[in-house]
């Protein structure tokens, strides 16, 4: 399974889940583009919990975790039957997975109307936002879980540790007051943080708590549901966010348990305040102390690179751009490289036009060692196709960033000495040319 699954992928799964008899699956409405939106109900207890995922179409991690929960609650004879029965008798769970299926189709944040649904709780101009509000008014949940993804660049303050999960009891007013509703949400979060520390120690943070009058979380809190925001973040090496998905699953199971037996009441709101706030100081690549020669003089700077995912259907390619240049001492990189004593070497383009069949590992290594970052292939149809070669491929003239690093431009250059190239930066990927590269998963496109 990968992150870019679509509405059509979940329909058969929902059919299977409903056929067990333990879940009631109902269609509560349709999106702008007529995709069905479903609500699943498990249990029959007096405490009502409503959860929804993917109101932002490009934030799918919690949707996967909800399906893990559906499978778990449909399980049997695995040692958890007592847990399942206990939950079912004490709480009623209502799940709305993939609230924004049109956005999901495009892997974009906003709805088909280009509205950010999480800024539509007040106006409810979108059919999807109106649906969610109607469910809130109909069900009057005691607890609400608003499930999102945050970007990969949040870190635990003062460390290079990415935030794997961030949590928030959204504020219902500008003063960030704490009434019993919000206080209870904070207590549930203390319990969630406690269990997550066992899986991802020191990688849990609090999301920004500024009041957003248009936001759903803020309004659910105002409407009287103890509301908890869970943001799926990042974990080193977990591109498809499978560990983050597991953290969601664990966090939610723990929350259900502590709500069912009211054990969340044991926690204190002051413990919530000990969870650090998200900082945002991570970059995909950070090159430290790079020497750049310009007009005969030398400067030493740090360079940050961002790898931006560009969606094509259910796949994507990366665009690696120069994100910042200067003193970046207080920032961190997933790839963090001190290149003191080495200098910037502009990229060149290969003079010969090739057939794509001629490209192989040896030729590419040879070209990279010569400072060549781009090859021109003879194929008019190739532009837009994806490839995994660690070199830029163009099918027409006029593409190459070959000058000095420039904000927002593609990161294509080399790093080394006058005698030797040590690193190739190709579309933001860092290749250490002193070791033979063993085929990592480059996600490039032909231009
Ligand atoms: Zn979101």
CA of 115 to the centre of ligand 1 (A): 13
CA 52 – ligand 1 centroid, Å:
11
What is the predicted pLDDT for the residue at 438?
A: 61
Å from CA of 398 to ligand 1 middle: 38
**Residue 437's pLDDT is what?**
64
CA of 54 to the centre of ligand 1 (A): 7
* C-alpha of residue 97 to centroid of ligand 1, in Å: 14
The pLDDT value recorded for residue 397 is: 77
Q: Is 46 exposed, middle or buried (0-12, 13-18, 19+ CB in 10 A)?
A: exposed
Q: Contact at 8 Å (CB) between 73 and 84?
A: yes
Ligand 1 centroid distance, CA of 53 (Å): 9
Token pair recorded at residue 199: 């899986």
Contact between 179 and 222 (Cβ < 8 Å):
no
Mean pLDDT by 10 residues, the chain (447 residues): 92 95 97 98 98 98 98 97 97 98 97 97 97 98 98 97 98 98 98 98 97 97 98 96 98 98 98 98 98 92 97 93 97 98 95 90 94 93 93 82 85 96 96 78 92
pLDDT, residue 399, reads 60
| C-alpha 116 – ligand 1 centre gap (Å) | 9
Query: The tokens of 111 are what?
Result: 């709805």
3-state secondary structure the chain: CCCCCCHHHHHHHHHHHHHCCCEEEEEEEECCCCCEEEEEEECCCCEEEEEEECCCCCCCHHHHHHHHHHHHHCCCCCCCHHHHHHHHHHEEEEEECCCCHHHHHHCCCCCCCCCCHHHCCCCCCCHHHHHHHHHHHHHCCCEEEEEEECCCCCECCCCCCECCEEEECCCCCCCCCCCHHHHHHHHHHHHHHHHHHHHCCCCEEECCCCCCCCCHHHHHHHHCCEEEEEEECCCCCCCCCHHHHHHHHHHHHHHHHHHHCCHHHHCCHHHHCCCCECECCEEEEEEEEEEEEECCEEEEEEEEEEEEEEEECCEEEEEEEEEEEECCCCCEEEEEEECCCCEEEECEEEEEEECHHHCCHHHHHHHHHCCEEEEEECCCCCCCCEECCCCEEECCCCCCCCCCCCCCCECCEEEECCCCEEEEEECCEEEECCCCCCCCCCCEEEC
149 Cα–ligand 1 center, Å: 5
CA 85–ligand 1 middle distance (angstroms):
32
CA–centroid distance, residue 60 to ligand 1 (Å): 10
Ligand 1 centroid vs 89 CA: distance in angstroms? 32
The dihedral sign for the CA sequence 320, 2, 115, 162? negative
- What Rg value do the Cα atoms of the chain yield, rounded? 25
What is the number of other CB atoms lying within 10 angstroms of the CB of residue 364? 19
CB atoms within 10 A of CB 246: 18
317 C-alpha to center of ligand 1: Å? 22
- Ligand 1 geometric centre to CA of 24 (Å): 27
Distance 229 CA to ligand 1 centre (A): 10
Distance in Å, CA 230 to ligand 1 centroid: 10
Distance from the alpha carbon of residue 419 to the mean position of ligand 1, in angstroms: 49
Distance 136 CA to ligand 1 centre (A): 19
């Amino acid at each position: 399974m990968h992150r870019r699954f679509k509405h059509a992928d979940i329909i058969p799964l929902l059919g299977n889940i409903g056929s067990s008899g333990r879940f009631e699956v109902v269609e509560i409405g349709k999106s702008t583009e007529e995709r069905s939106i479903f609500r699943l109900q498990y249990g029959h207890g007096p405490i009502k919990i409503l959860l929804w995922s993917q109101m932002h179409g490009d934030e799918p991690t919690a949707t996967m975790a909800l399906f893990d929960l559906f499978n778990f609650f449909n399980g049997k004879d695995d040692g958890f039957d007592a847990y399942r029965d206990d939950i079912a008798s004490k709480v009623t769970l209502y799940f709305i997975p993939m609230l924004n299926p049109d956005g999901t189709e495009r892997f974009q944040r906003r709805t088909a109307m280009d509205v950010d649904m999480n800024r539509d709780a007040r106006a409810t101009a979108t059919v999807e936002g109106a649906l969610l509000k109607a469910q809130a008014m109909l069900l009057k949940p005691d607890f609400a879980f608003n499930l999102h993804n945050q970007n990969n660049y949040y870190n635990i303050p003062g460390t290079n540790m990415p935030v794997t999960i961030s949590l928030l009891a959204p504020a219902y007013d500008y003063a960030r007051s704490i009434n019993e509703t919000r206080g209870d949400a904070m207590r549930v979060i203390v319990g969630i943080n406690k269990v997550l520390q066992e899986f991802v120690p020191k990688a849990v943070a609090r999301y920004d708590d500024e009041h957003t009058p248009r936001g759903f979380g803020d309004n659910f809190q105002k409407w009287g549901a103890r509301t908890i925001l869970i943001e799926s973040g990042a974990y080193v090496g977990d591109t498809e966010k499978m560990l983050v998905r597991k953290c969601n699953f664990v966090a939610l199971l723990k929350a259900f348990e502590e709500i069912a037996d009211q054990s969340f009441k044991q926690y204190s709101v002051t413990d919530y305040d000990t969870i650090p706030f998200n900082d945002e100081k991570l970059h995909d690549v950070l090159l430290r102390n790079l020497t750049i020669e310009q007009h005969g003089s030398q400067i030493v700077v740090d360079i940050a690179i961002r790898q931006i995912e560009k969606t094509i259907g259910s796949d994507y390619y990366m665009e690696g751009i120069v994100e910042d240049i200067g003193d970046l001492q207080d920032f961190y990189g997933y790839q963090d490289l001190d290149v003191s004593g080495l200098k910037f070497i502009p990229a060149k383009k290969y003079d010969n036009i090739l057939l794509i069949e001629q490209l192989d590992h040896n030729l590419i290594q040879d070209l990279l060692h010569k400072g060549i970052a781009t090859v021109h292939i003879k194929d008019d149809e190739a532009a837009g196709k994806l490839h995994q070669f660690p070199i830029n491929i163009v099918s027409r003239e006029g593409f190459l960033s070959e000058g000095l690093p420039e904000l927002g431009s593609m990161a294509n250059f080399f790093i080394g000495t006058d005698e030797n190239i040590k690193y190739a930066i190709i579309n933001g990927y860092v290749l250490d040319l002193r070791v033979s590269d063993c085929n990592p998963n480059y996600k490039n496109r032909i231009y």
